[in-house]
Structure 1
Amino acid sequence: MMQHDAFSQWLGIQILDIKEGYSKINLILREEMLNGFGVIHGGICFSLADSAFAFACNNRNNLSMALDTSINFTKPTFPGDVLTAEAKELHNGRSTGLYLITVTNQRNEQVALFKGTCFRTGKPLI
């Protein structure tokens, strides 16, 4: 999946671990990710969490698409920070799945909490 994910590649995402219903990925924050207030744009953290969500809910070869997502930001992030997103499956249903993604920095401080619900299409990825 990652080899076809140009956006995750552009962000600089590295895959640390993937197994059924789980993924752990990270990235290093860069200067060009800053917003007008001198902190990293929230869309970067959201995108990292969303990619972890996608890798976790699609790794059973059942094409799954986001139905609903939400994020809470708990700490600001800055260039040079290393963010890690860990996605854990809370529910694996026939047609939906529920995931909780925790985003932490290099000091293991939680910087965001993301929740995602996916729809399982029943179509194979490969």
Structure 2
Amino acid sequence: MEIEKILLGQSSEKENYVYPENSMPGSEAFSICFNGGYFNGEKTCIGGKGISGYHILTEGSLMCTYNDGRKIKVEAGDIFNCETEDRVELEGNAGIFNMIMGNGVRGFIRTFQLKGKKMMRVGEGVGESYIAFIGLNGTFTLEYEGEKFYCEKDSAVIVHAGKKEFGRVVLTADGEDISVAAASGVQLLKHDFGKFIGVRFLERSEGYCKARLDIRPDHMNPIGTVHGGCLFTLADAVCGMAASSIGGVSTTVDSHIQFLNAAFRPKYLIAESFPKKIGRKIRSFCVEIKDDQDKLIATVDFIFYSLQD
């Protein structure tokens, strides 16, 4: 594993960390970029370039106006996302940390309270992964195999694990109770069947995901309704994303689909995943799938087992 510390800088346009080295957002080689900066009251637009992003405010507040009319006010510690077709206008005074993702990357930002020491398992099986740790209200130390990295204000520690490379890092709070943001991304490359059939994510947050599938002729069965396997794939994609957002690697141990209404040639389907119970190891979710007329087509129950220590 490779570990490095970066300074977040003063400009939100500055790219502090890009993989591969020297590639640019939107280019064919671009995978993931971490950066940070500060807004000083000016209006700034992000998104609209076919890439997605996850963002967390380190201080202050912003008003986020999306191109579909949504308006969200975010405060220090709040997380918001910008999907591939979103264009978001930001206005306010705030510090921000960004994780910008190119094609084939699944990523999230989540927060947790660091009390004393915490051991975390890092790495995933399907592709190279990156995780950036940022202290939101204090400082901490990250240790891996005897090497220590001190993370103070306006800095981040980034861990890079290769495909099927796993390790354990230890985070130690420099105080009694530190709020830490963890921005993690994994390169799915070709391991993304949901994207292959056209699943497009609309909204993501910790434990929640909403996605859309525009229906094509190859999604249909011989009697003119959306194929049951297509419905289940949509549910599996949205629920897998929600389960992963909790942190660590999860695997499905049980699932059950209920077909409630036939989907007769809809223009699109919308799936939303909600957590039912999140335990230390067992994570239970429900997915609702509706058509373009807001008719409930199916519900799907999933149970995941967390492989995170």
Asked if these proteins are the same fold (TM beyond 0.5), I'd say: yes
**Of the candidates 289, 302, 305, which is equivalent to residue 103 of structure 1?**
289
Please list every run of at least 4 consecutive aligned residues from structure 1 whose deviation after the TM superposition is greater than 3 angstroms. Answer: none
How many residues align? The count is 123
Give runs of aligned pairs for residues 1-126 of structure 1, distance below 5 A. Answer: 1=106, 4=188, 5-122=191-308
Query: Aligned to 1:61, what secondary structure does the other structure show?
Result: coil
Shift in Å at residue 71 of structure 1? 0.5
Which consecutive residues of structure 1, in runs of 5 or more, have no partner in the other structure?
A: none
Query: What are the superposed Cα offsets for residues 88-121 of structure 1, whole Å, 9 maximum, x if unpaired?
Result: 0011100010001100011111000000000000
Shift in Å at residue 52 of structure 1? 1.0
Query: What are the superposed Cα offsets for residues 26-69 of structure 1, whole Å, 9 maximum, x if unpaired?
Result: 11111112212222210001110111110110013310111100
C-alpha distance in 2 between matches for 1:30 and 1:79? 9
Q: Which fold has the larger relative contact order, with Cα–Cα distance below 8 Å and residues 6 or more apart in sequence?
A: 1
Higher strand share: 2
Which consecutive residues of structure 2, in runs of 5 or more, have no partner in the other structure?
A: 1-105, 108-186
- Structure showing greater radius of gyration is 2
Query: Aligned to 2:193, what secondary structure does the other structure show?
Result: helix
Give the RMSD, CA atoms, in angstroms. 1.6
C-alpha distance in 2 between matches for 1:117 and 1:88? 12
The amino acid across from 2:277 in the alignment is H
TM-score by length of 1: 0.90
